Chain A
Amino acid sequence: MSFVDDKVVITGIGQSDVGRKLGRGGVDLALDAALEAIAHAGLDPADIDGVASYPGPVVAEGGFVGATTHDVRDALGLRTTWALSGVETPGQAGTLMDAASAIATGRATHVLCFRSVFESTAQAQGRAAALTGKQMRAGGHAEFRMPFGAASPANWIALYAMRYMHEFGLTREQLGQIPLNGRRNAARNPKAIYRDPMTMDDYLSARLISYPFRLYDCDVPCDGATAIILSRRDAAAESGRAPIAIEAAGSGLYERHTWDQRVDLTTMAAHDSAHHMWEQTSLTPADVDFAELYDGFSYLCLQWIEALGFCKHGEAGPFLEETARYALDGELPINTHGGQLSAGRLHGYGFLHEACLQLWGEAGERQIPKDVEIAAVGIGGGPEAGCLLLRRDG
């Protein structure tokens, strides 16, 4: 039995321009992505009766919230019967999973799911919050980290990476294969931020951020929006394209929502959601043709490789040394568009877009040469994670 009884399929995708300092607003970008996706699905904006997004109108540093569901509903004059955004979700694709549930239970027929960011332009405009404001106090999840200088996910995730290196002997060179693989694939992606070749020396000599992370272990803030259309299977329009089914969706979160109390420091919530996903299907990791795995930091991609079962726990280091295996023409291509490390921080949705593009054979110069039917997509890091197993039907 598939996720939501196989009643819901992906029918279209869209993406705005992606770049640095585009100087455009987040709603503007979101509309580009939305309209492209709606047309791609063979639909008209009037057909859209549901909207989902991440994270919604949360208070955040500049450019993190490009557009809310209200922004897009208003701008396109959508008449919706269902809408949802949220940040307390299993990864950035959490509300997309809820959109599928909403369709399956009759609350909507065609849902526009999107994520928009303009972090690069916001930074250039100086909108990013100054962390040294004397009046500012750290609340919420930052309360127990900011006072100690642990200001960034780079610090919190470096703590996990260092523990993993200590327990399993992962080397800097092994970890570096993740950004190098992304960069090789990004060379074929005209929208990628970084497309120039990168050597291991370039990687190892880049500016230190928080050991073991250097510059190219950290993804690149960008401007851009991505949209995915989910439709009720029996209402999908004729688009000339086989629908993409959601074979399984992992939203399991089994431990506390913290960055430092997980019992096993060498795993993350990715392991919970992957476990939940595989419980729903008779398919196994060996059936996956390619994988798009969140790499907001290089180490998060390593976590997804293990969590989804592409190698055993603790064996990602040796796995990563076999670079041909996960290259574009390998047995399990990974991050075929360059990942967020090279293609830009589209914050999860970029991986979903790329998975669909590859499944439909529309990836152009970077199309995986073998026939691909099953994709695994893992989104999120630390205590936030969700994953999807996508299956092209025909």
Chain B
Amino acid sequence: MTRPAFRMLPEVTADSAAFWTGGADGELRIHRCHACSRWFHPPAPACFRCRSRDVAPEAVSGRATLASYTLNHHPWFGEAFPVPYVVGLVELAEEPDTRLTTQIVDCDPADVRIGMDVEVDFEHHDDVWVPVFRPTSTGGQAS
């Protein structure tokens, strides 16, 4: 699959700045609670589990497992974002309950499987680094 020429970019907020710019340093930055040590996403100024306000973005490994995916065929963005493409839902290796909706890139859609191992890759557009995921370079597939 080719990468799109166009992505609708996010409106970066104080809470999400680290998530959208960590890629400049090759890091996927996810909010973590310092009271209960759990991760959560999307970023917010409190931990929804223990309600601590002591939260901050922190780098994760960028490794994840594909929890679900869909092969999108409808050209929502016209020709600028070519179809078909795979929208994925990935669970972070550090915290499976923490998921990112993302795009699965650099592989044949026919090879995408729930349970497969994926890793982050960053696409730089303007002031943001969009974290997309691709099959891990070791190619591990769980199912």
**Interface of A with B (CB < 8 Å)?**
131-132, 134, 136-140, 143-152, 154-156, 158-163, 166, 207-213, 256, 258-261, 263, 265
Contacts and interface: CB of A to CB of B under 8 A. Distances in A.
| Most chain B C-beta atoms within 10 Å of own C-beta, residue among A131, A259, A265 | A131
Given A149-B72, A210-B73, A259 B101 contact: yes
A149 B70 contact: no
Given A147-B7, A208-B84, 9 more contacts: A136-B8, A140-B11, A158-B72, A159-B70, A163-B67, A211-B71, A256-B48, A260-B89, A261-B41
B102 interface: yes
Contacts of A154: 72, 74
Contacts of A209: 72-74
B97 interface: yes
Interface in B69-114: 69-74, 76-78, 80-81, 84-85, 87, 89, 97-103, 114
A131 B8 contact: yes
A147 B8 contact: yes
Nearest to B90: A260
Contacts, number: 131
Contacts of B41: 144, 261
A212 B85 CA distance: 14
A155 B70 contact: yes
26 contacts: A131-B76, A131-B77, A131-B78, A137-B9, A137-B10, A137-B11, A138-B9, A140-B11, A143-B10, A146-B10, A147-B128, A148-B101, A148-B132, A149-B76, A159-B70, A162-B68, A166-B114, A208-B71, A208-B73, A208-B84, A209-B73, A211-B71, A259-B101, A260-B99, A260-B101, A261-B99
Nearest to B102: A148
